[in-house]
Structures are given as C-alpha cells and as structure tokens.
C-alpha cells in the first residue's frame, strides 16, 4: 500500500530557475525531492500544483508525493525536512494525508496569485526581492476600472508568453481585487489555471492604467486584439506570489 501526502510549501524564487526540474539549473522541485528522499530514505517524486517561473515566489504552493510507509509523526517529519532545507529559502509548512486519487495539479479547483507593488519613491530595504518598486503614484481608481475587463472567460492570447505551451488561450478569471495598504498595492487574481506570464502581464497592464499611460478601456481593446505586441511589459517575477491552491 502506498500513502499519498500533500505538502504546502513556502519559498522565495529569486535563487531558483523556477519550480520544475531542469537539467542544468537548480529548481525548487529538485531541492524538495532531494530533501524528502534523504529524510524518508527512499527516492521521492513530487507532483506540484503547477509551475512557477524563475523568480516567482509562493506563500502556499501545493504538492503531493507517494510513500510506501505511513508517516506517523508529522512534527518530526516537518522538523527534519526543514532542517535540511535551512540553507535554502524554502520551507514546508504542513503535511496532510490524502486519498489515493488526490493529485496536486489535477484536483485543484482554483488558484490564487498575489502581486505586490511597492508604490513609493524610496527603494525597499526589507522587500528587495518581494515587491515591485513603482515610484510614480498610481491611480488606484482607474486600475480598479481596468481590472473589471479581465474578469470572466476570455481568449487571453495577448497576455500569454510566446513560449507558453498551453493548448488553449481561453481562461476564466473568477476574481480580481486591488487593495492598498500603506505604500503597498496588493493585486489578487483567482482562476482555475493561468497561462505562462498571464498574471505578470495583467499586472503590467494595470500599472500602465495606473500611470495614466492607458485608459481603463484600453484593456478591453487589448484582449479583443489577441495581439501580444499590444500588451504592456510583464511585471517582474519578484513581486508575484502563488498564494493558495483550492481543492
């Protein structure tokens, strides 16, 4: 009998080439598999809820793995794993036994990403790799107006990376909130799945609207155009966090 376990992972992505295992570059998945294999004394393969690009962070990446033996002491397991992960900006926050059918990627009902913009003139001291510094004061009211055009089911060809391997550009954005707290702007986006660089492209477009380079209506025109060349430059990876995966 094999036991199926879900883990929730937190990480800063600036020192990694992304989530997925790569031949030449260090990935988050490869580090976690190595540490789990060392802890459980057997080769472990980890299934992630989805790929995050190089430099992208996570508050709550979800993954699962199978193990021949039951892990009876979760506290000891988490303590040991996080001891081995201590040299990396990765932490495993929780361990949960799941049924055999649970799959971190395919069982996911929706995913929430959060993007953090630091909107001030002074450079960050604490959030160097955790937010995008935008010095010009952003028009939050217009950004919220523009955000409404992203909601719903659309062909997001104009907002996908040229290297995106998804079969269809059709995605449904079920939630998009923009909240300002102090000098930080939080952009939270919900969907079952996203195209490569879609979230960062959305944020880049909203920044253009906030800077009054675009009117809110320009976002609707961009989506209808289906032309990547019309899109604003994507926001940098360092401000993006995979916040939560819902099942």
For the residues of 192-246, what is the DSSP string, one character each? S---TTHHHHHHHHHHHHHTTSS-THHHHHHHHHT-GGGSPPPPPGGGEEEEEEE
Decide if 127 is catalytic. no
Q: Exactly one of 53, 127, 155, 212 is catalytic; which is it?
A: 53
Per the rule left: phi > 0, alpha: psi between -120 and 50, beta: everything else, 152 is left
- 27's enclosing H/E stretch is none
Say how many Å lie between the first and final Cα of the chain, rounded: 24
Q: Where are the beta strands (DSSP E) in 144-183?
A: 152-155, 170-181
Pairing of strands 152-155, 170-181: antiparallel
Q: Which of 28, 22, 16 is nearest to 61 (CA)?
A: 28
Rounded Cα distance between 46 and 59, Å, is: 18
Residue with the two structure tokens 């959305």: 202
Catalytic residue positions? 53
């Amino acid at each position: 009998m094999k036991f199926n376990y879900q883990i929730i992972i937190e990480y800063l992505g600036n020192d990694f080439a992304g989530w997925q295992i790569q031949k030449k570059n260090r990935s988050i998945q490869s580090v976690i598999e190595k540490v789990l294999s060392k802890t459980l004394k057997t080769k472990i393969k980890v299934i992630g809820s989805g790929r995050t690009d190089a430099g992208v962070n996570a508050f709550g990446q979800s993954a699962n793995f199978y193990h021949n033996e039951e892990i009876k002491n979760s506290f000891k397991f988490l303590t040991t794993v996080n001891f081995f992960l201590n040299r990396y900006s990765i932490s495993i926050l929780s361990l949960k036994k799941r049924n055999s059918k649970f799959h971190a990627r395919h069982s996911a009902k929706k995913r929430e990403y959060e993007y953090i913009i630091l909107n001030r003139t002074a450079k960050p001291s604490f959030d160097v790799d955790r937010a995008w510094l935008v010095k010009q004061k952003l028009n939050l009211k217009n950004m919220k107006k523009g955000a409404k055009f992203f909601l719903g089911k659309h062909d997001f060809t104009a907002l996908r990376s040229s290297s995106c391997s998804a079969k269809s550009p059709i995605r449904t954005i079920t939630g998009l909130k923009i909240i300002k707290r102090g000098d930080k702007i939080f952009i939270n986006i919900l969907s079952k799945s996203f195209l490569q660089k879609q979230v960062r492209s959305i944020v880049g477009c909203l920044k253009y609207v906030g800077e009054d380079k675009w009117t809110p209506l320009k976002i609707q025109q961009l989506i209808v155009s289906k032309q990547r060349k019309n899109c604003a430059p994507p926001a940098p990876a360092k401000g993006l966090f995979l916040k939560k995966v819902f099942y």
